[in-house]
């Protein structure tokens, strides 16, 4: 009897007897660009006016295909004739041929990210699984978002050097656009499946530290003040305009792309500037704009704007922090800081020195050259199946570094799977329908790396199970899950 597939990777494997050794991936990259001080007014003009449907169409409500798995046959009372299926495939092919090279490449990368037979797919799926299963692995919201941004940057650089993409990205995309296309693909591959998790964790962090409670109270205080008490001496958006802005912010919440969120923020800022100038016939600067933005954010009364701004500030591509995008993003941060630091007896019209220092540190951290973790630091995830005859098969994604031995992994598995008698369990490698017990002094990550380098794709799994258990029974029992 052949065991059914377990819950791990589909990775290249060769049946040869050569020793499993380590595999290195050469990367040289940086999550930064030189600081550009130029800030043209509404430099996103073309995007903000012409892509409303694109922006508002990108939401978490989009259907997202799950990771690729072996298909199961299901009984159905209705079966399409072969000739109809053939015609549908032809029509699908015709529509695909009309896709722009950019969309074709993003679609290809998204499909590959769900296919664990590829190294890239395994890397992405293991990282996403690890974050979702280990909520305690980050100490703060900033720590979590910074790690995700670093992972996106390094995976993007891996793809730019990888031979897994077929056809190669440079055959479809001009060289000066490759980074832009890869960034959009990272949003789809990584941020889209993590969107719900990130939102939940941001809410949990800010609820636990009490910052949302304070923000809620201050929003109420600011809303009770008239514009002049907030330092606003220019025309402000009326009720109808505020409602339009609120709708745009609600649309922003549905997006997973930080770039498109920023484009929508620019549209809001443009609307505010238009109201200010049309109702007075004069131009205004930043000193007049910040109090009005503060007033508008308070009128919208949305706690979630705090995490939306944090999401954009930490996950946006550093190249977009130079110029207008970064300027209006920091303006939104400043407006929220005024609300957070609002005192009932004294309206805060200027940013506190602490808020200014925080902004300076943030801008320096996101835009200056620095050494960041390589892709090797983000491949330290190992998916391990836990097999029991009574309960079937489950799995967890564990943080396992290259120098960790099989003995150490077994101890970690015993803790994670809550095994009462760990001396009866060992770590096995299941590949080509055979089981191999790993000795205590071997290195699972090195074995995994070698398996990734094999030319022919084969299914393999790391399985933590009893020494004397039936190697097939529990696997078959779980085959229908």
Residue 6 is predicted with a pLDDT of 40
Name which CATH class applies to 381-466: alpha beta
Domain positions in the chain are: 99-205, 221-366, 381-466
Residue 351 is predicted with a pLDDT of 56
Residue 161 is predicted with a pLDDT of 81
Residue 13 is predicted with a pLDDT of 35
CA gyration radius, the chain: 26
Q: Check: CB of residue 336 under 8 Å from CB of residue 305.
A: yes
The C-alpha angle with vertex 381 and arms to 207 and 407, in degrees rounded to 5, equals 115
Residue 397 is predicted with a pLDDT of 79
What's the rounded Cα separation, in Å, for the pair 249 and 275? Answer: 18
Low-confidence stretches of the chain (pLDDT < 50) are 1-54, 56-57, 60-77, 345-348, 370-376, 473-481
Residue 350 is predicted with a pLDDT of 55
Phi, psi for 365 (deg, rounded to 5) = -65, -40
Domain covering 221-366: architecture: Up-down Bundle (1.20)
What's the rounded Cα separation, in Å, for the pair 479 and 219? Answer: 53
Give residue 57's Cα distance to chain centre: 18
* Cβ count near 305 (within 10 Å): 22
Phi, psi for 429 (deg, rounded to 5) = -110, 125
Residue 45 is predicted with a pLDDT of 39
Residue 203 is predicted with a pLDDT of 94
Residue 257 is predicted with a pLDDT of 96
What's the rounded Cα separation, in Å, for the pair 266 and 239? Answer: 20
Q: Check: CB of residue 326 under 8 Å from CB of residue 365.
A: no
Closest CA to 155 of 318, 379, 315: 379
Closest CA to 387 of 266, 322, 473, 314: 473
Contact partners, residue 139, CB within 8 Å, separation at least 6:
none
Q: Check: CB of residue 298 under 8 Å from CB of residue 339.
A: yes
């Amino acid at each position: 009897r052949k065991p059914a597939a377990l819950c791990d990777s589909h990775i290249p494997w060769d049946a040869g007897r050569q020793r499993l050794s380590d595999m290195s991936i050469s990367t040289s990259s940086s999550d930064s660009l030189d600081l550009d001080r130029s800030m043209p007014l509404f430099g996103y003009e073309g995007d903000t006016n012409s892509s409303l449907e694109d922006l508002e169409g990108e939401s978490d409500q989009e259907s997202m295909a799950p990771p690729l798995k072996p298909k199961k046959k299901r009984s159905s009372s209705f079966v399409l004739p072969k000739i109809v299926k053939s015609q549908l495939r032809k029509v699908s092919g015709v529509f695909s041929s009309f896709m722009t090279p950019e969309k074709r490449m993003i679609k290809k990368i998204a499909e590959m990210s769900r296919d664990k037979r590829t190294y890239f797919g395994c890397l992405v799926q293991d990282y996403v699984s690890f974050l979702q299963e280990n909520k305690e692995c980050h100490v703060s919201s900033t720590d979590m978002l910074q790690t995700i941004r670093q992972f996106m940057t390094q995976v993007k650089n891996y793809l730019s050097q990888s031979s897994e993409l077929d056809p190669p990205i440079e055959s479809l995309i001009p060289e000066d656009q490759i980074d832009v296309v890869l960034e959009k693909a990272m949003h789809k591959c990584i941020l889209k499946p993590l969107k719900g998790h990130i939102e939940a964790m941001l809410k949990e962090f800010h609820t636990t530290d009490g910052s949302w409670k304070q923000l809620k109270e201050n929003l109420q205080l600011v809303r009770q003040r008239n514009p002049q008490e907030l330092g606003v001496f220019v025309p402000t958006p009326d009720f109808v305009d505020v409602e339009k802005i609120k709708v745009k912010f609600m649309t922003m919440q549905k997006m997973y792309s930080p770039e498109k969120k920023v484009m929508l923020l620019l549209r809001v800022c443009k609307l505010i500037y238009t109201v200010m100038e049309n109702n007075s016939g004069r131009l205004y600067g930043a000193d007049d704009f910040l109090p009005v933005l503060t007033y508008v954010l308070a009128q919208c009364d949305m706690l979630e704007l705090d995490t939306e701004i944090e999401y954009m500030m930490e996950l946006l591509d550093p190249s977009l922090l130079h110029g207008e995008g970064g300027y209006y993003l920091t303006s939104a941060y400043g407006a929220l800081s005024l609300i957070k630091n609002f005192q009932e007896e004294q309206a805060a019209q200027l940013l506190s020195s602490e808020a200014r220092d925080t902004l300076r540190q943030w801008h320096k951290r996101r835009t200056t050259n620095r050494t960041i973790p390589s892709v090797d630091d983000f491949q330290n995830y190992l998916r391990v199946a836990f097999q029991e005859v009574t309960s079937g098969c489950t799995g967890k994604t564990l943080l396992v570094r290259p120098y960790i031995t099989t003995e150490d992994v077994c101890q970690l598995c015993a803790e994670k799977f809550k095994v009462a008698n760990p001396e009866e369990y060992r770590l096995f490698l299941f590949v080509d329908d055979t089981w191999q017990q790993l000795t205590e002094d071997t290195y699972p990550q090195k074995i995994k790396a070698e398996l990734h380098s094999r030319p022919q794709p084969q299914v393999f799994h790391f399985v933590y199970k009893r020494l004397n258990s039936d190697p097939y029974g529990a696997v078959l029992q779980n085959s229908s899950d």
